[in-house]
Chains A and B, each alone.
Chain A
Amino acid sequence: MPDSINVLELDGIEKGFDGSEVLKHIDLEVRKGEFVTLLGASGCGKTTTLRIIAGLQRPDAGRVLLGGREVTDLPPDRRDVNTVFQNYALFPHMDVVKNIGYSLRLKRFSKEEIGQSVNDALHMVQMEGYEKRLPGELSGGQRQRIAIARAIVNRPQVLLLDEPLGALDLQLRRQMQTELKGLQQKLGISFVYITHDQEEALNMSDRIAVMRDGRFEQIGTPAEIYDHPKTSYVARFVGEANILQTSGGSVAVRSEHIELLRESAEAALPAAVKSKTFTAGLLKITVILKDGTEAVASRHGIDSELEPGEAVWIKWNPDHAVPVEEGGSHDE
């Protein structure tokens, strides 16, 4: 397939359940070999979108195209898409080899070919030696790798991953992020990845689609999303930006770009210190502005001489202020 054709395209997808609209209007293009993440809070519709791509759910309107071909009405077994489920869904009555080789058996590959492919897949997820185990005998992290192996053994055009790292502890999660990214690049398969963890999204993706209430608020590269958020929701969701009011409208300023001054200065706003915390290696100082809004300034260090109640002024470089649409008046 020529590179100009998108490996996956969602065109005007809409979906409702029991009267409420879950997906309002979804447009997405995924290129070959791309790692795209659907990022959003729970309930925003990311899983539904994934299921529609997989064919496990049918949209009320819109089209799904794979490699230029429309597949909207095709059942999941006839789409060149595979899914890594959130709870792994490994067949409990089949051992690891049978699980991984299931799709190949359906395609009636020869025994040798199946054996070879399964071995390759096991090698890729570093689970050699576990061939005869049953899913019930594996730990969460191990099951996750087998689930991935089972999905990639097919070499599908698109691989869908539904919050695959959600159940793992932090250490393992970070490790798996690197492994998954490496795997994706090695195999050249397009990944559509779901997560609510913005750090994960920023680390792994080629592009991020920030989703909210059944719509994409913004689609862009991690840098674009982070440095140039289009709406206040995106700005707040990714990277904890402060939404501040200026004469020209609302702007988003990341906490690391906020400066705290002990004296008034030009273009500085008066505020009072509310609290300070030390998290993730950064010192974060929360201040309250005159109009009641809160802002967070962050910098390296353990502590500051500023105490709660003290008067300060906040200032920022206008270059770091991004104008945003006030789409964020409702809380997430």
Chain B
Amino acid sequence: MMSKKNRQSARESGASRLLVAPMYLITLFFVLGPLIYMVVLSFQQRAEVWGVENRFTIGNYLRIFEPVYMNTFIQSLKLALLSTALIVLIGYPFGYFMAKLSTKWRSRAMFALIIPFWTSSLMRLYGWIIVFRANGVLDTILMRFGLTDAPLKLLYTYPAVVTGMIYVLLPFMIYAVYASVEKMDWSLIEAARDLGASPVRAFVTVCLPLTLPGLFSGVILTFIPSMGLYFIADILGGNKIVLIGNVIQEQLMKAHDWPFAAALAIVLMLLTSLLLFLYGKITKSDSLEGLI
């Protein structure tokens, strides 16, 4: 009797294992493997002509401490934090207001949001080039209305890059906040109002805390990519704004210094993970709650 029970239980786990096998194998081989390989690579030295020398060195990591690279990291961090902060400011109200719409309008707003979200980010950034470039749309309008005399030349500036970042990543925040606000039990707000709280107070003491998980998910979804979306800086910032992503790409493609690129990438990953970890500790959320 016992063996029969165990056999049945074993059969069930066997089926489960079979189901997850493809995913497990792919993950082990194409995610874990490469990661390990990259770590190994980062400790190697680029050879003179081609490839890598089989020597263990921490030279790559030491090189990162050079001011130029440290600055790049700090720049990237600043940009990511700034973009994320602005995205929170813009995105939270949007998600909140959207969730409060009637059901009919909610699905329409969602649809209206999906379109730009799925539209190629390159195309959308291109649109901003048109807006920002010298004598572009923005300049034309401003000059037409006499607000400025000369073209603003906003393209290839820091604000342009920040705008691009916000533009690309905002939908993620909106969706995360929306999902969280939509699930909220509105009767709680009503109860607070009933007990004498003003609308603002009810919002701050009831709605905000309850939708925080969604907000946090949004921050995670926004901050991580913002550390690596170097092509935005490329397109809207030209050569003026250099982010860590640009450096990595350069080292990889032009300088062919793979070990160094690997080291940079690992530091970037550690940095991101560290920040996420701290963030998780502060907010006590460690998963993408209520996200998808």
Contact = CB atoms under 8 A, between A and B. Distances in A.
Interface of A: 58, 72-73, 75
Interface stretch (B1-9, B206-214, B243-251): B1-9
Interface in B1-35: 1, 4-5, 8
A235 to B, nearest CB: 39
Contacts of B5: 58, 73
Interface of A is mostly: loop
Contacts of B1: 72-73
Size bracket of the B interface: under 10
7 contacts: A58-B5, A72-B1, A73-B1, A73-B4, A73-B5, A73-B8, A75-B8
Interface in B42-73: none
Q: Which 3 A-B pairs have the closest CB atoms?
A: A73-B4, A73-B5, A58-B5
A165 B5 CA distance: 35
A75 B11 CA distance: 13
Contacts of A72: 1
A84 B5 CA distance: 26
B279 to A, nearest CB: 33
B161 to A, nearest CB: 48
Interface of B is mostly: helix
Interface in B199-226: none
B10 to A, nearest CB: 13
B268 to A, nearest CB: 43
B284 to A, nearest CB: 25
Nearest to A58: B5
Contacts of B4: 73
A150 B264 CA distance: 63
Contacts of A75: 8
A67 B278 CA distance: 62
A189 B247 CA distance: 77
A72 B4 CA distance: 10
B251 to A, nearest CB: 53
Nearest to A70: B1
B99 to A, nearest CB: 24
A332 to B, nearest CB: 32
A55 to B, nearest CB: 11
Most chain B beta carbons < 10 A, residue from A58, A72, A73: A73
Nearest to A59: B5
A38 to B, nearest CB: 25
Contacts of A73: 1, 4-5, 8
A44 B4 CA distance: 29
A85 to B, nearest CB: 22
A204 B8 CA distance: 38
A58 to B, nearest CB: 7
B8 to A, nearest CB: 7
A11 to B, nearest CB: 13
A310 to B, nearest CB: 43
A76 to B, nearest CB: 12
Nearest to A75: B8
A58 B4 CA distance: 12
A274 B220 CA distance: 63
A46 to B, nearest CB: 24
A72 B8 CA distance: 12
B11 to A, nearest CB: 11
A203 B250 CA distance: 83
Contacts of A58: 5
A303 B23 CA distance: 74
Nearest to A72: B1
Nearest to B7: A73
A143 to B, nearest CB: 24
B266 to A, nearest CB: 41
A75 B4 CA distance: 12
A321 to B, nearest CB: 47
A72 B5 CA distance: 9
A75 B8 CA distance: 9
Nearest to B12: A75
A58 B5 CA distance: 9
A149 to B, nearest CB: 31
B4 to A, nearest CB: 5
A72 B1 CA distance: 9
Interface in B235-277: none
B45 to A, nearest CB: 54
A58 B7 CA distance: 13
A44 B139 CA distance: 76
A277 B1 CA distance: 57
A218 B165 CA distance: 71
